[in-house]
A and B are shown apart, each in its own frame.
Chain A
Amino acid sequence: MYALIAAESAIFTIFVVAYIFYLGKSVSGPTPADVLELPIFSTVCLLSSSLTIHLAVRALRQAKVGAFGLWWFLTLTLGTIFLVSTGREWQHLIYDKGLTVSTNLFGTTYYSLVGLHAFHVTVGLLAIALTMILTLLRKVKPEHSERVEVFSLYWHFVDVVWVIVFTVVYVIGR
């Protein structure tokens, strides 16, 4: 998993580099300062889901399957909130502000970077949902804690990437 994370980091690095390289290079509007708002709420949700997944893994290691289910469900909810608010942000940008992938360079780089991250969130959420179903079917046992922990590495990674994307896109980029 660490090796996979290294590979994923390299992919994200390239997209971040492209984003920074093209900052302010768009030949037409809209610019980031015109349209982007700080997604504080969804960021808080995503980052706190890192905490809940950590607590879930700890609960499973201590054989508390009930507590694990609860924390796991919370993680799923927080992640879904993040994904939904990204979706709403995109809807706002596309329909109200008229920014699409092909509008200008900002659109191209913004949607690909944030979209790549959202894609990773989606993959993570699918895995979390699958585990949730297995938990409800009482198939998840304390001996699976190692697998869950390996997966939680991925989820932490997705969060760390969001910190970088947030800084680059919403703080520096504006």
Chain B
Amino acid sequence: MSSESIALSTVGRDARPIGERLHDWVITVDHKKLGILYIVYGLIFLVIGGIEATIMRIQLIVPHNHFVSPEVFNRMFTMHGTTMIFFVVMPILFGFGTYLIPLMIGARDMAFPRLNAFSFWMTTFGGVLLYFSFVGGNGLYGAGNAPDVGWFAYAPLTARAFSPGHSTDFWTLALLVSGVGSIGTAVNFIATILCMRCPGMTLGKMPLLVWLNLIMGGMLILAISPLTAAQIMLSIDRYLGGHFFDTQAGGSAALWMHFFWIFGHPEVYILVVPAFAFASEIIPVFSRKPIFGYPVMVAATICIGFISFSVWAHHMFTIGMSSYGNTFFTVTSMIIAVPTGIKIFNWLGTMWGGKIHFKAPMLFCIGFLFQFLIAGLTGIMLATSPFDWQLGNSYFVVAHFHYVIAGAILFTIFGAFYYWYPKVSGRMYNETLAQWHFWLFIIGFHLTFDFMHIPGILGMPRRIYTYEPGRGWEIWNLIVTIGVFFQIAGVLAFVTNLLWSLWKGETAGSDPWDAWTLEWSTSSPPPDYNFAATPVVRSRRPLWDLKHPEDPDWKYE
């Protein structure tokens, strides 16, 4: 494109002193830099959350282990859950959204660049606040440091009487602050997508990633706010002597559960919808076919968005709701599987008859399809309330949601890293090392989470720091822990690859994958202004039109 010659002159190495360049990153309002900051921040916390998971698994490798104390174990599972959801997956997804949305819709930046920076720094502040509890949470002597109330912090565990000191307050404030950041991000995504599209890009011609992030933004706005409200109530309880969740004064512990899961279940879809978005961009490019059933994909995601707000109480079958409540939430939880199933068939339809290239991004997406299917099936099992009465709060549940979050979301995130790495860094990653990453990680993943279902069925509850021998749980826990080390090896290959390729990787060029969306039309990495001339779009695959003027897409759409 004509922008190339202008762009190349800005790519050369920055010669300014390091202090000045770092200062640039701190004060930046550029969506690309903020996107990278989000992602790097998420990766750092991924390592921290991974270390916490490893500590738990080492503790559980044999019965009666003394690797950590019960108190430390409680802190580890609380911090692991909170970190992974709020400070790993969300920032990484926001980072990709912030980086890619303006590029994909042919804009020069987000609608509100300063709000964008504000949101990032709020999220950062939230994460720092949470981890500051390790040093600053020691309010009363012996009252512990980091939060230890579980990631959903059920009442009355969070009441002053059971959680003295400040650890729970750090947890509350961290989520409150990062929640404000998330709402800012959501507002920004929605405004950008609705107002900043380049000429010709109607809603029906947007890349699916942009569509899905728009839906995710809408869900964020409606889901994060209940969490914020509940956190305000909890603070009132803890600091002003309120009685929201105080059963002694007529308050209700179940109300916290409702408020938390009104946030908590849509949150799962907030995380998985951008993961769907990555798969919807990667699978067509590596199958050399346009996405199958574009309008149906959009419609199915909108359905998921709506239904996700009516399924929350399937987390609460075991607290004794009325039979009507149980029936309603069982039925809605099963209905939501329908649009999700439609999407799986659409991805399969895209691959069907395509010329599939088994590069690392595609491998991770195929892994995602397979694991997401199984996660959906165990989800249907747990949505059946009588079945849930038996297995609720067991390792079966833990295995199920890790299948969703690691098996589906994390896999597409890895795929997205490899797919967009050449665009962001300007260099190719090492394919051999990426294949090692994939195979090590998928072996580790299946060792850990396939076999985690079994102790759950055998009755092993979650969140126990040790267990008695002779219940048939030992061998499964051993296998699960062994799997963790394969995953660590995979992640090491991943991090090495990212860093090594940054210095030594081959130059990628603007379009290494022969892809079709607008971000590949500008140079890699893109210049500050993204596009020298505002692009004009006539179909869903603008770059296909450009490369194949004899047979453009817009003739058929």
Contacts and interface: CB of A to CB of B under 8 A. Distances in A.
Q: Which of B225, B232, B255 has the most CB of A within 10 A?
A: B225
Interface residues of A, number: 26
Interface in A79-102: 100-102
B226 interface: yes
B225 A108 contact: no
A112 B252 CA distance: 16
Q: Which 6 A-B pairs have the closest CB atoms?
A: A102-B241, A10-B225, A14-B229, A108-B242, A101-B240, A7-B221
Contacts of A131: none
Q: Which of B190, B224, B228, B240 has the most CB of A within 10 A?
A: B240
17 contacts: A3-B187, A6-B222, A9-B225, A11-B229, A13-B226, A14-B225, A25-B250, A27-B250, A102-B242, A104-B250, A105-B244, A105-B250, A108-B237, A112-B236, A112-B242, A112-B244, A116-B232
B249 A104 contact: yes
A14 to B, nearest CB: 4
B243 interface: yes
A149 interface: no
B508 interface: no
Contact of B232 (A25, A104, A112): A112
Contact of A104 (B187, B223, B240, B243): B243
A101 B183 contact: no
Contacts, number: 85
Interface of A: 3-4, 6-11, 13-15, 18, 21-22, 25-27, 100-102, 104-105, 108-109, 112, 116
A101 B226 CA distance: 21
B216 interface: no
Contact of A102 (B190, B229, B240): B240
Contact of B251 (A9, A14, A22): A22
B467 interface: no
Q: Is the interface of B mostly helix, strand, loop or mixed?
A: helix
Nearest to B187: A3
Contacts of A9: 225
A15 to B, nearest CB: 6
Given A3-B187, A102-B243, A108 B236 contact: yes
Nearest to B240: A101
Given A11-B228, A15-B229, 5 more contacts: A3-B190, A3-B217, A3-B221, A10-B223, A101-B241
Contacts of A105: 243-244, 249-251
A108 B244 CA distance: 7
Interface residues of B, number: 31
A8 B225 contact: yes
A20 to B, nearest CB: 11
Contacts of A21: 252, 255
Q: Is the interface of A mostly helix, strand, loop or mixed?
A: helix
B401 interface: no
Interface string B161-176: 0000000000000000
B241 A18 contact: no
B46 interface: no
B130 interface: no
B230 interface: yes
Contacts of A4: 183, 187
B186 A7 contact: yes
Contact of B244 (A11, A100, A109): A109
B239 to A, nearest CB: 9
B546 interface: no
A26 B190 contact: no
B259 interface: yes
B233 interface: yes
Contacts of B187: 3-4, 7
B250 A22 contact: yes
A11 B240 contact: no
Contact of A26 (B226, B232, B250, B262): B250
A104 B249 CA distance: 7
Given A21-B255, A101-B241, A7 B183 contact: yes
B191 interface: yes
Contacts of A14: 225-226, 229-230, 259, 262
A104 B221 CA distance: 32
A15 B250 CA distance: 17
A3 B255 CA distance: 26
Contact of B242 (A6, A7, A26, A101): A101
B225 A7 contact: yes
B122 to A, nearest CB: 14
B250 to A, nearest CB: 4
Contacts of B183: 4, 7
A15 B237 CA distance: 14
